[in-house]
Amino acid sequence: MVNKFETTRLTILLPAGRLLLPVMAKANEVAQQYNLEVYLSTAQNLRLMGIKEEDVADIKAALAAVGAEFKAPGKFPVPRVCIGKRDCTMGVGDPERISRLILDKFGSRPMTKPKFKIAVAGCILSCAGVMTTDIGIVATRKGLDIYVGGKGGPHPNVARRIVRDTDEQTMLKVIGELVEFHDAHTPKKQRMFKLLEHPEFPYKDAV
């Protein structure tokens, strides 16, 4: 999409917020070559801004050659994560691992309908914004809790916990059910919170 300055942008997906060194080096190289801005998005991705339309294909090809993947319609959302137990004294879980499990299972799902997001936190402090994200995973000392229906924006909504103390395989099963329910009940795009009161929504609150 061209903005009012007649330039466009390219968003490089960064699973678990990790910026691999070859991608970082190439992004730096093309940013200098094409005089681009580099923006760290709120969804934890890397965005190059100020691209002329005629340069998009060359820039994409240069980045794809070092393994970069790009945001595009229909792509399954890359979870936003906190740093977790390896690097945070409060952490009891590993959001990077959980993100990888989710993307291994669903990353190639075709034509996923917008606009739900996923967040993963390494403890109940929920730094990754789990409580204001459509599907949220929180690691606890007893396992994984799953939240649904959070959102920000002008009318924020706090997510509801639908599963407590579960394991990774069950987490993947629940995410799969939520995504399929969203798909089946979403004409074009919608946030997950609108589905919470649907009579067939598959989960009640887990207290």
Q: Running DSSP on this structure, what letter comes out for residue 100?
A: H
Scanning residues 88 to 127, which ones bind ligand SF4 (CB under 6 A)? 88, 90-91, 121-123, 125-127
Q: Return d(Cα 69, Cα 57) in angstroms, integer.
A: 13
For residue 149, the minimal CB distance to ligand SF4 (Å) is 19
What whole-number distance in Å separates Cα of residue 116 and Cα of residue 134? 6
Establish if 140 lies at the interface with ligand SF4 (CB under 6 A).
no
Nearer to ligand SF4, 62 or 83 (CB): 83
Shortest Cβ distance from residue 127 to ligand SF4 (Å)? 3
Nearer to ligand SF4 by Cβ, of 14 and 121: the residue is: 121
Determine how β-strand 8-12 pairs with β-strand 46-51: antiparallel
> Min. distance of Cβ 3 from ligand SF4 in angstroms?
34
Provide the minimum distance between the beta carbon of 29 and ligand SF4 in the complex, in angstroms, as a whole number: 32
State the minimum distance, in angstroms, from the CB of residue 6 to ligand SF4: 40
**In the range 39-58, which residues lie near ligand SF4 by CB under 6 A?**
none
Nearer Cβ to ligand SF4, position 25 or 90? 90
Amino acid (1-letter code) at residue 111: M
84 binds ligand SF4 (CB under 6 A): yes
Among 14, 82, 148, 179, binds ligand SF4 (CB under 6 A): 82
Distance CA 155, CA 49 (A): 29
Instruction: State the Cα–Cα distance between residues 44 and 58, nearest whole angstrom.
Output: 24
Shortest approach of ligand SF4 to residue 89 CB, angstroms? 7
By CB under 6 A, name the binding residues for ligand SF4. 82-84, 88, 90-91, 121-123, 125-127
